[in-house]
Amino acid sequence: MVSQGGGSQPLWRRDGKELFYIAADSKVMAVPVSTAPTFQRGTPVALFTVPIYGGGLSANLHRWAVMPDGQKFLINSVLSEDASEPITVVQNWTELLKK
Protein backbone atom coordinates (compact mmCIF):
# COMPACT_ATOMS: atom_id res chain seq x y z
CA MET A 1 0.00 0.00 0.00
CA VAL A 2 1.36 3.42 -0.92
CA SER A 3 -1.34 5.76 0.42
CA GLN A 4 -2.08 6.59 4.02
CA GLY A 5 -5.80 7.26 3.64
CA GLY A 6 -6.88 5.49 0.52
CA GLY A 7 -6.90 6.83 -2.99
CA SER A 8 -8.10 6.17 -6.49
CA GLN A 9 -7.24 6.52 -10.17
CA PRO A 10 -3.53 5.69 -9.84
CA LEU A 11 -1.19 6.61 -12.69
CA TRP A 12 2.50 5.85 -13.14
CA ARG A 13 5.14 8.25 -14.37
CA ARG A 14 6.53 6.71 -17.57
CA ASP A 15 9.90 5.79 -16.04
CA GLY A 16 8.17 4.03 -13.11
CA LYS A 17 9.87 6.17 -10.47
CA GLU A 18 6.70 7.87 -9.23
CA LEU A 19 3.07 6.92 -8.66
CA PHE A 20 0.31 9.53 -8.70
CA TYR A 21 -3.20 9.11 -7.29
CA ILE A 22 -6.23 11.09 -6.17
CA ALA A 23 -6.76 11.19 -2.41
CA ALA A 24 -10.23 11.20 -0.86
CA ASP A 25 -9.93 14.96 -0.25
CA SER A 26 -9.36 15.60 -4.02
CA LYS A 27 -5.62 16.17 -3.65
CA VAL A 28 -3.33 14.91 -6.37
CA MET A 29 -0.67 12.91 -4.56
CA ALA A 30 2.80 11.81 -5.69
CA VAL A 31 4.74 8.92 -4.20
CA PRO A 32 8.35 8.20 -5.18
CA VAL A 33 8.92 4.48 -5.69
CA SER A 34 11.77 2.13 -6.53
CA THR A 35 11.53 -1.47 -7.66
CA ALA A 36 15.11 -2.71 -7.31
CA PRO A 37 16.05 -4.83 -5.52
CA THR A 38 12.53 -4.84 -4.02
CA PHE A 39 9.54 -2.53 -4.18
CA GLN A 40 9.90 0.42 -1.83
CA ARG A 41 7.80 3.55 -1.53
CA GLY A 42 8.57 7.01 -0.28
CA THR A 43 6.28 9.36 1.58
CA PRO A 44 3.19 10.57 -0.31
CA VAL A 45 3.30 14.30 -1.08
CA ALA A 46 0.26 16.45 -1.92
CA LEU A 47 0.87 18.33 -5.17
CA PHE A 48 -2.36 20.32 -5.48
CA THR A 49 -6.11 20.09 -4.93
CA VAL A 50 -8.48 19.83 -7.85
CA PRO A 51 -12.22 19.15 -8.06
CA ILE A 52 -12.31 16.23 -10.50
CA TYR A 53 -15.39 15.79 -12.64
CA GLY A 54 -17.39 12.83 -11.35
CA GLY A 55 -15.41 12.79 -8.09
CA GLY A 56 -11.97 11.45 -7.44
CA LEU A 57 -13.05 8.14 -5.99
CA SER A 58 -14.08 6.49 -9.25
CA ALA A 59 -12.23 3.20 -9.34
CA ASN A 60 -12.69 2.35 -13.01
CA LEU A 61 -12.62 5.74 -14.76
CA HIS A 62 -9.53 7.88 -15.05
CA ARG A 63 -10.52 11.51 -15.39
CA TRP A 64 -6.94 12.70 -15.63
CA ALA A 65 -3.60 11.95 -17.23
CA VAL A 66 0.01 12.63 -16.38
CA MET A 67 2.69 13.55 -18.90
CA PRO A 68 5.60 11.11 -19.25
CA ASP A 69 7.96 13.25 -17.13
CA GLY A 70 5.40 13.66 -14.33
CA GLN A 71 5.60 17.47 -14.50
CA LYS A 72 2.27 18.27 -16.18
CA PHE A 73 -1.26 16.97 -15.78
CA LEU A 74 -4.40 17.01 -17.90
CA ILE A 75 -7.44 16.93 -15.63
CA ASN A 76 -11.16 16.88 -16.35
CA SER A 77 -12.12 19.22 -13.52
CA VAL A 78 -15.28 20.90 -12.31
CA LEU A 79 -15.76 24.65 -12.46
CA SER A 80 -17.90 26.28 -9.84
CA GLU A 81 -21.50 26.84 -10.88
CA ASP A 82 -21.03 30.60 -11.01
CA ALA A 83 -17.90 30.38 -13.16
CA SER A 84 -18.17 32.31 -16.38
CA GLU A 85 -14.67 31.68 -17.70
CA PRO A 86 -14.69 30.13 -21.18
CA ILE A 87 -12.67 27.07 -22.08
CA THR A 88 -10.58 27.51 -25.21
CA VAL A 89 -9.69 24.48 -27.31
CA VAL A 90 -6.90 24.99 -29.82
CA GLN A 91 -6.99 22.51 -32.66
CA ASN A 92 -4.12 21.87 -35.04
CA TRP A 93 -1.80 23.71 -32.65
CA THR A 94 1.31 22.13 -34.16
CA GLU A 95 0.74 24.24 -37.28
CA LEU A 96 0.90 27.38 -35.14
CA LEU A 97 4.39 26.39 -34.01
CA LYS A 98 5.64 26.53 -37.61
CA LYS A 99 4.78 30.22 -37.98
- Cβ-contact 16, 33 below 8 angstroms: yes
Q: Indicate the number of domains in the chain.
A: 1
pLDDT tens per residue across span 84-99: 667 778 888 888 888 7
pTM of the model: 0.71
Residue span of the structural domain in which 22 resides: 8-79
- Start-end of H helices in 1-99: 93-97
Residue 23 lies in a domain: yes
pLDDT tens per residue across span 62-91: 778 898 999 988 887 766 666 666 777 888
Residue 96 lies in a domain: no
Q: pLDDT-based confidence at 42, cuts 50/70/90?
A: very high
Residue 57 lies in a domain: yes
